[in-house]
């Protein structure tokens, strides 16, 4: 089983309840890579026997760093309409006193989608193909970064931390490493591969961590299935960095230029 599938794997342990465990392959500075945690909580919805349709929106709030080890995911369908369904999720872990403690809250909307008039408003930027872009040397980075093949076209992590940044925008090619067919779970994690925008904008390495992240899925399962293991083009930028928090807005296109997902997060940073 690919490392990603191992990391998001869940076992049914009761009504609306699933057991999972953190994965060393996706370790971050503190706790696991948030993208994989978001994918795991979505996976509980995807595995749920009452699921209607496919994911349209996911919001995940990171309340605390997950400790290494097991955790419990609760996924409850709280309202099922004719073509949409509303979900409330949370992840809990035993704390030092062996009490269940909430480490993540989340909501999702799933829907049975129909084919309609459609248009992408945000065109994919014209960029060099991934095979013409060198792979950045990220050997010294945290473990989860090694689970992605990333080719940065614009907005690399600063080499010199001299406070002289002037843009928060990064454009990159990305796919799972090893290659893995795209699905809703992996797309969710891919929406979180961008390093903190404050590092780039300020050219200063400060502690930063995502507090809340939202993903909107513009592609359905069939469109993701036809994507296979191809590259995605991602672009992320901040809109405001103010008093300890910045936002980060991200776009993910298929290599053919179809917008697959848009994502937003608000990130804590230490000045």
The residues that touch a copy of itself, with contacts defined as CB under 8 A, are 56-57, 59, 61, 63-64, 78-79, 81, 84, 86, 88, 90, 101-103, 105-107, 109, 111, 113-122, 167-168, 201-202, 211-212, 214, 216, 218-220, 237-245, 247, 249, 251, 259, 262, 264, 266, 268-271
Q: Least distance (Å) from a copy of itself to the CB of residue 256?
A: 14
Whether 108 contacts 120, CB under 8 Å: no
Terminal Cα distance for the chain, rounded: 41
Rounded CA-CA distance 241/244 in Å is 8
In the complex, minimum distance from the CB of residue 249 to a copy of itself, in angstroms, rounded to a whole number = 7
The CA distance from 43 to 89, in Å, is 11
CB atoms under 10 Å from CB of 198, counted, come to 25
Residue with Cβ nearer a copy of itself (7 or 190): 190
Q: How far is CA 203 from CA 2, 160, 168, in A?
A: 35, 7, 10
| Least spacing, CB of residue 130 vs a copy of itself, in Å | 22
Q: Taking Cα atoms as reference points, which of 142, 168, 141 lies closest to residue 154? A: 168
User: Taking the complex as a whole, how short is the minimal distance between the CB of residue 219 and a copy of itself, in angstroms?
Assistant: 7
The conformation of residue 93, written as its DSSP 8-state character, comes to E
Provide the minimum distance between the beta carbon of 150 and a copy of itself in the complex, in angstroms, as a whole number: 22
- Residue with Cβ nearer a copy of itself (151 or 201): 201
Q: Which is nearer to a copy of itself, 138 or 266 (CB)?
A: 266
Least distance (Å) between residue 94 CB and a copy of itself:
15
Query: Given the complex with a copy of itself, which of 10 and 89 has the nearer CB atom?
Result: 89
Distance between CA atoms of residues 270 and 244, nearest Å = 6
Nearer to a copy of itself, 35 or 55 (CB): 55
Q: Distance between CA atoms of 130 and 201, rounded to whole angstroms?
A: 24
DSSP three-state, residue 68: coil
CA distance 203 to 181: 35
């Amino acid at each position: 089983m690919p490392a990603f599938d191992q990391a998001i794997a869940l076992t049914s342990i009761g009504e609306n309840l699933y057991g999972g465990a953190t994965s060393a392959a996706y370790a971050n500075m503190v706790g696991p890579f948030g993208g994989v945690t978001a994918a795991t909580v979505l996976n509980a919805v995807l595995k749920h026997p009452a699921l209607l349709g496919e994911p349209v929106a996911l919001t995940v709030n990171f309340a605390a760093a997950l400790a290494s080890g097991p955790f419990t995911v609760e996924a409850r369908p709280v309202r099922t309409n004719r073509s949409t369904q509303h979900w409330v999720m949370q992840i809990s872990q035993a704390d030092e006193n062996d009490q269940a403690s909430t480490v993540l809250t989340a909501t999702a909307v799933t829907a049975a989608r129909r084919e309609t008039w459609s248009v992408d408003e945000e065109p994919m930027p014209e960029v060099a193909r991934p095979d013409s872009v060198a792979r950045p040397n990220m050997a010294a980075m945290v473990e989860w970064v090694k689970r992605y093949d990333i080719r940065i076209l614009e907005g690399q992590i600063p080499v010199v931390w001299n406070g002289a940044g002037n843009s928060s925008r990064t454009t990159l090619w990305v796919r799972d490493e090893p290659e893995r067919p795209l699905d809703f779970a992996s797309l969710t994690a891919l929406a979180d591969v961008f390093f903190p925008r404050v590092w780039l904008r300020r050219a200063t390495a400060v502690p930063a961590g995502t507090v809340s992240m939202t993903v909107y899925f513009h592609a359905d399962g069939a469109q993701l299935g036809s994507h296979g293991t191809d590259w995605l083009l991602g672009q992320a930028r901040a809109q405001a960095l103010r008093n300890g928090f910045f936002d980060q807005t991200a776009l993910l296109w298929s290599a053919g230029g179809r917008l697959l997902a848009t994502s937003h997060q608000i990130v804590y940073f230490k000045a």
